[in-house]
A and B are shown apart, each in its own frame.
Chain A
């Protein structure tokens, strides 16, 4: 560093050059900004003797994941197998003037759009039979960007094409619009709204309290993720309708908060009426056959699926037959949701002090064969499955519960088959 003590002179440094053009923040020095932006002190922690040490990210990450897993499993134990698997969700994105703020880089709306894109993909991966619609708030009015639908690409394309902010935000207009749309969905569907709210005020044509009451009566679960500060009206809305209210601290936190909504929420019995839904499982059309597809209204060569009821051809699954209205899915679409119903039991911690020969502790992780001993033959922190009693490393623990949804140990035992 060559620039300390140089008073007002701007340092010549490539990475700070482009930030000089920000304009409105002239009063902070470039070197101050470097500290303010990176927040390097946040990656330090104090140990027992008061020395500063970098945070042990892996242990922290694992502890965080365990906490989430425990809270999830206790929640699902209370509500048993019931989950809201068929969801009708409206994502409301605030594109008022406040969304142009640059406290998140490059601006709130760009960051929000990026996270919404990730969320929409994750949502359809976890909830294949559910639908999403997009609503934006701008210039004091709410506008439907996309209707409820099951294709992630069309939502993402529509949002990216409409990115620009102006005017005031109106919570009431958004809720009224969503309420009207969600009132048309079938009674077994779970109605949800997630609002990504940047503004610190709402500019409403009438009494927003009445609208909140209407949403509550229609059993619409409203959640709000704030981007600036906590607002009473948002908190009230979430409390009344059983949703979650949170305010994002930074981009990573915003991502966590949005993705929290991807897995299906515990179903509240009275919120949706259980029903049997008639569905068709179409077979793939034979290769090399020319047929007119009912979705694009043009002749297509090969591929596609045939509706089992009316024999019309559709291009993609899941969809609704354009001719007879039957919902068409494939069995893998349903199977994507089954892990929500049969979750892997959380693994128990094994004290690292336990000697390897005691407790018949194996030398390797059952999943990946990685050694459970440190170089000095010191046992590392590991976990064990309460059902099959196999030992796993921490990495496998996270992978098994977050992505695989199978315990390799239980799956490698014939006896456990009868349990599931």
Chain B
């Protein structure tokens, strides 16, 4: 690899971090609209075309499994002529290892893969790119996700989203499953990325190349899918119901759908409910 200083980085050089959902329960279920091998062949063509768009472009792939996450491809390592197909071997090793880690079969439904883990790893790598000097490719993250959201990952995923927002790294989402992902809708909305749920997955390659292939600089000239109705309603900690009005513990900010005597998260005891509005404060005319 040539040293960074000798490279000419323009604003159209990209670092694409791709997070691929490898959840075997999802890909073997009826929720998967196409087979994993068909999906992979379209993704591989897409990644190869990214590398051909600009010889300085960099692609890294992280596999998001059911029990673990791992890096499976980095275009900056190995021979320069190496094509993305070389990730297949590492992917196979990863899937086998991920399956061995599966201890209990008690996962109900198709389960959720560890998106919070692969997002955190991707962000760590991107920070290294930022630290490498003032000349670096423009990083972005693309989540290709099919499994449903795991409620237990909520805090970790939100933490990752805010960290990405602070470092101005957009998180693009391409949802393959049958349902929308509330996590990824928020991720793309907050970080200024693109959220897309393709209608006809036979043409996945077309969607990928038209929406996600452009570098960040050129995006401003395109008409990309606009977010339609991001659901910012919260879900209560007691029943996991989605609510539009509720009570917040003033100590730990836990959300409840009705009034409790004691907070189940932090143990504080409460008095009477109260609104933040201070009625004794005069309301000023503008």
Residues in chain A within 8 A of chain B (CB atoms): 80-83, 85-86, 125, 129, 184-186, 188-189, 267, 272-284, 286-287, 297, 308-309, 317, 320, 325-327, 330-332, 334-339, 341-342, 365-370, 395-396, 399-400, 403-408, 411-414, 417, 420
Contact = CB atoms under 8 A, between A and B. Distances in A.
B277 A367 contact: no
Contacts of B150: 417
B121 A404 contact: no
Contacts of B74: 369
A363 to B, nearest CB: 13
B251 A82 contact: yes
A282 B116 contact: no
Given A274-B268, A395-B131, A326 B253 contact: no
B247 A85 contact: no
Interface stretch (B50-58, B62-70, B211-219): B62-70
B120 A406 contact: yes
A404 B123 contact: yes
Contacts of B121: 366-368, 408, 412
Contacts of A408: 69, 117, 120-121, 124
Given A85-B252, A278-B245, A308-B245, 18 more contacts: A81-B252, A85-B250, A276-B260, A277-B276, A278-B248, A283-B229, A325-B279, A331-B232, A335-B162, A338-B158, A341-B253, A341-B265, A342-B155, A395-B128, A399-B127, A403-B166, A413-B114, A414-B68
A186 B156 CA distance: 31
B276 A414 contact: no
B135 interface: no
Interface residues of B, number: 77
Interface in B243-286: 243-253, 255-256, 259-260, 263, 265-266, 268-281, 286
B22 interface: no
Contacts of B244: 280-283, 308
A277 B260 CA distance: 11
Contact of A367 (B101, B114, B124): B124
Contact of B234 (A334, A369, A399, A420): A334
A287 B229 CA distance: 9
B67 to A, nearest CB: 5
Nearest to B229: A284
Contacts of B265: 81, 341
B208 interface: no
Contact of A335 (B101, B117, B127, B158): B158
A413 B98 CA distance: 10
A86 B244 CA distance: 21
Contacts of A331: 232-235, 255
B250 A404 contact: no
Interface string B122-156: 01110110010000000000000000001011111
B160 interface: yes
A400 B121 CA distance: 10
A259 B69 CA distance: 35
Question: Lowest 8 CB-CB distances: which A-B pairs, in order?
Answer: A367-B124, A412-B117, A274-B268, A325-B277, A188-B250, A411-B117, A331-B234, A335-B158
B159 interface: yes
A327 B127 contact: no
B127 to A, nearest CB: 5
18 contacts: A80-B266, A82-B252, A186-B278, A274-B270, A276-B249, A276-B259, A278-B246, A278-B247, A278-B248, A278-B273, A281-B244, A297-B286, A331-B235, A338-B155, A396-B127, A404-B124, A411-B117, A412-B121
B233 to A, nearest CB: 5
B127 A277 contact: no
A358 to B, nearest CB: 23
B118 interface: yes
B277 A275 contact: no
B163 interface: yes
A241 to B, nearest CB: 21
Contacts of B235: 331
A327 B234 CA distance: 14
Given A129-B253, A368-B128, A413 B232 contact: no
A368 B62 CA distance: 11
Nearest to A147: B284
A412 to B, nearest CB: 3
B266 to A, nearest CB: 5
A404 B163 contact: yes
B277 A332 contact: no
B207 interface: no
B248 to A, nearest CB: 5
A343 to B, nearest CB: 11
Nearest to A335: B158
Contact of A413 (B67, B160, B252, B280): B67
Given A276-B250, A283-B244, A413-B67, A184 B278 contact: yes
B186 interface: yes
A273 B271 contact: yes
Candidate in A129, A184, A284, A332 with the most chain B CB atoms within 10 angstroms: A332
B168 interface: no
A81 B263 CA distance: 12
Contacts of A272: 250
Contacts of A337: 253
Contact of B251 (A85, A287, A366, A368): A85
A415 to B, nearest CB: 8
B88 interface: no
A280 B255 CA distance: 11
B108 interface: no
